[in-house]
Amino acid sequence: MSTCLNSEVPGQLSDEDRKRLEQLTAVKTAQLPAVSWNTIFDSSEWVKSFSRASQPLSNVDENSIASQLDAIEYLQQMTDHQFDRSWQQDSSTLENHLKKLQERPLTAEVLRALLLATQRLTEANALLAQHSDTKRCLTLWESSSLERLASTAKQWLAAINRLIDAQLVDKPLAIQRYQTHWLSLNNAQAPWGQFQQALTEHQALRARFPPCSNN
């Protein structure tokens, strides 16, 4: 409708029809952000990405979530360009990306992995704190799996938050709460914040122990 309004067509219309076209275009333009929100966040594919019936994230690396990140990136482009007449949304591409999100509850997998890692780190920290005044040594710590989890989780949560924040609508209160309590990278009580706190404490506790000579 916007393309039509900005073409030679309005000049060929009567005053009444031209005003009606202008009114309809204004109404549809005002409704577009809500339509964009509903297209993404009310879709069954999006909802299933957050399903609690999931296992913790496995194969923790950025390659394992590449296709899902591509899907989020397309949704981000669709949001960013919703008023751009030069950008055309492809329905088939959108459907394929939504199906890709539906294939696995990746958000839930990431959150579960963070919670599980935090639990294990907290348990390890309690043991290390009990023996921090001894002369015991520690074997070499292989931290690459936690580093991969941190990188993957941060990348995914940042993409999800960026997409939610880009929407030009007032977010429902339930979405705001969920975003703050579960998805936030800034809230210390969210899974990411708790994981970071436990990991930082773990690193500090390990630094108190000398490495074992057979490392």
- Whether 98 and 41 have beta carbons less than 8 Å apart is answered as no
Give 79-129 pLDDT, tens digit per residue: 999 888 888 888 899 889 888 888 888 898 999 999 999 999 999 999 999
Among positive and negative, which fits the CA dihedral 141, 147, 148, 149? positive
Give 154-212 pLDDT, tens digit per residue: 999 999 999 999 998 998 898 999 999 999 999 999 999 999 999 999 999 999 888 88
Q: What's the whole-model pTM score?
A: 0.85
Q: What is the 3-state secondary structure (H, E, C) of 3-67?
A: HHHCCCHHHHCCHHHHHHHHHHHHHHHHHHHHHHHHHHHCCHHHHHCCCCCCCCCCCCCHHHHHH
- Whether 18 and 9 have beta carbons less than 8 Å apart is answered as no
Token duo for residue 16: 């009444």
* Range 60-98 burial, b when 16+ CB lie within 10 A, else e: beeebbeebbebbebbeebbeebeeeeeeeeeeebeebb
